[in-house]
Chain A
Amino acid sequence: MGSTLIEKIFAHNIGADSVKAGDIITVGVDRVMIHDIFIPFVKDKFEEMGFTKIWDPDRTVLIYDHLVPASQLDDPRHHHIGDEFCDKYGVKNVHRSDGICHQLMTEAGYVRPGDVAFGTDSHTVTYGCVGAFSTGIGYTEMASILGTGKLWVRVPETIRINIEGTLPANVTSKDIILTIIGDLRADGATYKSLEFAGSTVDAMSVASRMTMSNMTVECGAKCGLFSPDEKTAEYCGLDGLDDFLVTLRGDDDAVYSKVLNYRAEDFVPVIACPSQVDKIKPVSQVIAEAASMEEGSIVPSVGLIKDGTIRVDQVFIGSCTNGRLEDLRAAAQVLKGKHVAPFVKLIVTPASRKIYREALADGTLDTLAEAGAMITTPGCGLCCGRTGGILTDNEVVVATNNRNFLGRMGTSKVNIYLASPVTAASCAVAGEIVMPGR
């Protein structure tokens, strides 16, 4: 019997010939990521547990991103605790304002194909884009890894997702993953590994794959994996794929709990509606439904209907989901020569310092600024909802991040729609929810 991708990663990690779904194993951890918002708790638990040294400081990465720049008086305290922790335990891999943790972990080369990594953030699943197993844990478990270098995991079953063909214009990997989440629902992949394959996936950049891996946790997945290929090798700065890495794909005779087959041509621009990530509708449907709603009314979980459309107050382009250069470029292509609609705010937050600089160099940020975008420094920004564009009752935001839960970006009456950068940028120009590239 063959193995799924995750079974191969885990077998390799523990030095077994194979493992199977359901097995409870203890993995040796290749890398851990801790961010600013939870480092005080990690430190407390670590010391409370009685540990006096980190198993391997070089495998530990500390990234400040949720609280950058500081917006509340208590934020600098987190940074001081982080700095003291690093000094005390010899952690040298610290990034204080270089961008979002999930962007940096692969961009800066900390996580590579085949690795087993954990992070104190649910979107740690992001690194599956390079064929690594990575998943989010709480700070208590993180503390136990820091002390022991190990963690128990139950080998998950795998849902295999095959996507073949060419995507239509203005349809992106964000639309793909939102569609899949809509089909599986918020708990449809709970405890499972999602394994992506197919010609569409092969044609994607690592950045596009990252968008998909990033969001797999939103349908409950333990991880979201792509097989490493030459693109992965190039992105990760590897000379090529070694003997183990070339085997990292699901075997033909592997056992999957479910197989989903999609044709790329069937995908359409979609949007996650307030206030659940799995409340997915085609953008065209949202527009059609709005046209039949009462003019001038504020519809709960929809927004203000004016001239038969949903008014948009703010657009946010950024986050670990869609804050990369190709996302900013896609937005710039929509905005070039145009302007953000009157009384609408467009906030752009590049995912890393490196991306910001690349977008400076190639004119992308200038195009966005000319169109009226507010470009903020790299960090989580509005996505984590502490600052960065907070809203009030009945306002509508179209955002490229990964969550639209109630109260996430302000009051419980803020309507958060999740979409691709193309769709979001189009809404910024129109001042209403529109089809991308209109």
Chain B
Amino acid sequence: MGMTIAEKIIARAAGLESVHAGEIHTVTLDYLMSNDGTTHLTIDMYNKLRNPRIADKSKLVWIVDHNVPCDSPKTAASQKKMRDFARDNGITFYEGAGVCHQIMCEKHVVPGQLIFGADSHTCAYGALGAFGTGVGCTDYLYGMVTGGSWVMVPETIRFNLTGKLRDRVTARDLILTIIGLIGANGANYHAMEFVGDGMKNLTMSDRISICNLCVEAGAKTALMEVDDITLAYLEEHGGRKPAACFKSDDDAVFEKTYNIDLSTIVPVVAKPHFVDNLAPVDDVKGVKINEAFLGSCNNGRIEDLRLGASIIKGHKVADKVRFLVVPASQEVYRQALREGLLDIFMEAGAMVMNPNCSVCWGSCQGVIGAGEVLISTGTRNFKGRAGDKNSFVYLGSAATVAASAIAGEIVSPYTY
């Protein structure tokens, strides 16, 4: 029986010829990423170990991105703990460079790798043909100390993509539609694998957007094949070379296969308070908003900013609406600056912020108050996610968000 991409990556990490779904194996990890959400907790546990040691410092990447700039003494203390430990132990450390998953894609991840991240959206690295999965700080600690972990090999659900997205329909609309289709636990503990003729019509940014959100369907990881687009991205970003390029075998076994024609996808939103609470944008037109957010590891890349800027150019943000635009990394910020995009947003009345998780994280920057409504390219819309427990979050594409910011209410991305 052939293997899926997920099985091949785990086999490689386990040093085995082959593995199959359902088996549990011990693996060596290629990277261990942790951010300021939980690293301080990992450090506390580490310091309580009788024999604390780090198996391979070069595999650790620590990134401060959630509360940047820092919002409270408590957060400052946890960030300081992380920073001091990184400095004292020679751990690769980023603070202010951008959102963790964006940094990992821009600078570290290569195809074939098996990566643990102390953050649920680690599944994003599937866009680069790597198996990334989110873990808690205890699993992280184990990986930090031993260099490895155990994994149960997941089943794979395959998505065969054909055709091309229509104008102003984005990868965000695609993945939201898929999540709406299979449900919030429709891929529980599975790998979601994306293949097909349609892949060549998806940029690396699109692919990251797609893989990033798979955890919202319960997926363990998301995966894609390596192609010219992947290699070009790696070349542009530090001339990185793949560790291994995997494709699922012709006789690999998939639990289920979905065939999706990209040209059938329409602009959609996820309504409060669940990521799979899907509706076409047209169904929610007219919902008044207080705030709009363009950013996050899902949609904070140059392509998203270009799309948003092309819509808002020549228009103004609605009078009492707060529109935060937050590039996902310093690299994106600078490119957006040079392309004149930041000026377009500032001229329109938006608030451009430094790269960080911002509104998506919902704890300290652009929080929404009681009764307020947000439309966002962030990853989640659970009750209270963006602020007050009595507030409402709609998730949508960069185009939908930008158009809605102008209108002051949710509108179709074709409005302007």
Contact = CB atoms under 8 A, between A and B. Distances in A.
A–B: direct contact at CB < 8 Å: yes
Interface of A: 68-77, 79-80, 83, 96-97, 313, 342-343, 345-347, 353, 356-357, 360-361, 365-366, 369-370, 372, 374-377, 381-382, 386-393, 395, 410-411
Contacts of B353: 69, 376-377
A372 B368 CA distance: 29
B186 interface: no
A74 B69 contact: no
B71 A387 contact: yes
Interface string B343-365: 10011010111111000000011
Contacts of B21: none
B96 A374 contact: yes
Contacts of A357: 343, 346-347
B199 interface: no
Q: In the A-B complex, list the 5 residue pairs whose CB atoms are closest, starting with the nearest.
A: A76-B369, A392-B76, A374-B354, A377-B351, A387-B71
Interface string B52-75: 000000000000000011111101
20 contacts: A69-B353, A70-B366, A70-B387, A71-B71, A73-B388, A74-B369, A76-B290, A83-B320, A96-B319, A96-B320, A345-B96, A347-B354, A366-B338, A369-B333, A374-B96, A375-B333, A377-B353, A387-B69, A390-B73, A390-B75
A343 B330 contact: no
B245 interface: no
A372 B372 contact: no
A72 B368 CA distance: 8
Interface in B228-268: none
B69 A361 contact: no
B369 A374 contact: no
A75 B364 CA distance: 11
Interface residues of B, number: 48
Given A75-B369, A343-B87, A390-B76, A366 B320 contact: no
A355 B290 CA distance: 26
A178 B334 CA distance: 35
Contacts of A356: 346, 352
Given A343-B83, A369-B330, A392 B366 contact: no
B68 A374 contact: yes
Interface in B261-300: 290
Contacts of B388: 73
A68 B77 CA distance: 24
Nearest to B70: A390
A77 B370 contact: yes
Contacts of B70: 387, 389-391
B76 A410 contact: yes
Interface string B74-113: 0111001001001100000101110000000000000000
Contact of A80 (B83, B351, B369): B369
A80 B388 CA distance: 15
A387 B337 contact: no
A69 B337 contact: no
A374 B351 CA distance: 14
A218 B392 CA distance: 43
A72 B322 CA distance: 15
Contacts of B365: 69-71, 387
Given A76-B369, A366-B334, A366-B337, A376 B73 contact: no
B324 interface: yes
Contacts of A74: 369
B346 A70 contact: no
B204 interface: no
Contact of A68 (B342, B351, B355): B351
A361 B367 CA distance: 30
Contacts of B352: 356, 377
A22 B127 CA distance: 74
A239 to B, nearest CB: 28
Given A70-B368, A73-B367, A395 B334 contact: no
Nearest to B325: A377
Nearest to A78: B369
A386 B365 CA distance: 11
Contacts of B330: 369, 372
A99 to B, nearest CB: 10
B322 A96 contact: yes
Contacts of B370: 73, 76-77
A346 to B, nearest CB: 8
Given A83-B320, A377-B351, A411 B346 contact: no
B76 A345 contact: no
B386 to A, nearest CB: 10
A296 to B, nearest CB: 14
Given A79-B320, A345-B95, A391-B70, 7 more contacts: A73-B367, A76-B369, A76-B372, A360-B343, A360-B346, A386-B71, A411-B76
A75 B354 contact: no
Contacts of A387: 69-72, 364-365
A96 to B, nearest CB: 7
A75 B351 contact: no
Contacts of A346: 96
Contacts of A374: 68-69, 96, 354-356
A374 B338 CA distance: 17
A293 B347 CA distance: 50
A217 B356 CA distance: 35
B406 to A, nearest CB: 15
A417 to B, nearest CB: 17
Contacts of A79: 320
A361 B334 CA distance: 13
